[in-house]
Amino acid sequence: MAHTVAAFTLAVLSASTAHAAILRGSSNDQMRPDVVANTLVKVEEEWRMEAAKFTEGSSSEGGSFAKSCATVVSAVIQGSGGDRDVAKEYMNKVCSQKVLAGWHAQRCTALADKITGHAMLADSYANRQNFNSAKVCSSFWSVFVEAERNREAEEAKERAEKEKVRAEEEKKAADAAAEAKKKADAAAKLEAEQRAKEEATHEKEQKELTAKAEAAEAKARAAEAAERLAQKKAEAEKVQKEAQLKLAEAEEAEKEHKARLAEHDKAEEALASATKKEAAAPPAAPKEPAEKVSAEGPPPLSPAAPVNKPAAAAKAEQPPKAATSSKATEKVVKK
């Protein structure tokens, strides 16, 4: 702190040998309010830390503040040459610097008021000789500490309000997030149920389509099997009819064969009977000469006299149907 106060004092006293008019803003102004303001910021920061310790009870009243404050006040008095108006104008310029913003400007204004508004007299000489810097700093310390307490309380209040607002905003955000999550969960559940329903419907439709396809395929296979069965049945019936036809033909051929055999037997019996009658008949009359017979023609045959054919000729006249019928019958029986 001593180094900072010394810098402030040096900045204030940089024009201590100049005329007081310099402080009033002439073109030859050598007291730089901006330099003094930058230094005063650092001094106020150190005073603030000391006030915080005092408020907490960890330091005695004033401490190093009294010495540093007295040095700063004495520098202002000496720099202004004891002229109250010059000191007031100069402090106004210092406190109006941009670097002294917020509480820094407030503390600077309070210190300037204690110096130029309450402690300095109209007599410049008296101010230079009898000005009581310690008294000014003691009074300013009370103001400074009270102001710091109020500032800390105000800042604490602001922090509390900000924290409350932040907590409320966080609660609102949490409630909004919870509500959004609730809605999202409900929407997701509804979507899942809808999707499950659609999948179940689709699966059911697929099963129905598969069942229909399988039923149609089974029906087609059954129709095809029925068609093959009907075809086989028709073929079997055809074969059976053909067999029956062949059997009927065979039976007919057998009957015809038997009839031919009977006719043959009757013919042989008739031939045998005729042969016997011929053998038993009286000798025939002598034949007339051939010329006569040829000229007059053969005599008419007697209707009562049967014509006896030789046995060989009778057999030759029998048709060969009996054998054919017998072979047909044999063929049908084999089938």
Q: Which of 4, 30, 12 is nearest to 81 (CA)?
A: 12
Categorise residue 57: left if φ over 0, alpha if ψ from -120 to 50, beta otherwise: left
In DSSP notation, 66-125 reads HHHHHHHHHHHHHHTTT-HHHHHHHHHHHHTSTTS-THHHHHHHHHHIIIIIII--S-HH
- Span of 102-111, 143-152, 245-254, 308-317 with lowest mean pLDDT: 308-317
**pLDDT class for 62, splitting at 50, 70, 90?**
low
Q: What is the average pLDDT score of the chain?
A: 79
Confirm if 318 and 260 have CB atoms less than 8 A apart: yes
Which carries the bigger pLDDT value, residue 320 or residue 40?
Answer: 40
Q: How far is CA 97 from CA 102, 281, 301, in A?
A: 11, 193, 187
Distance CA 113, CA 140 (A): 9
Distance of alpha carbon 323 from alpha carbon 257, whole angstroms: 7
> Is residue 25 very low, low, confident or very high in pLDDT (cuts 50, 70, 90)?
very low
Residues 6+ apart with CB under 8 A from 111: 72, 73, 91, 140
Q: How confident is the model at residue 333 (pLDDT cuts 50, 70, 90)?
A: very low
> Residue 302 above 70 pLDDT?
no
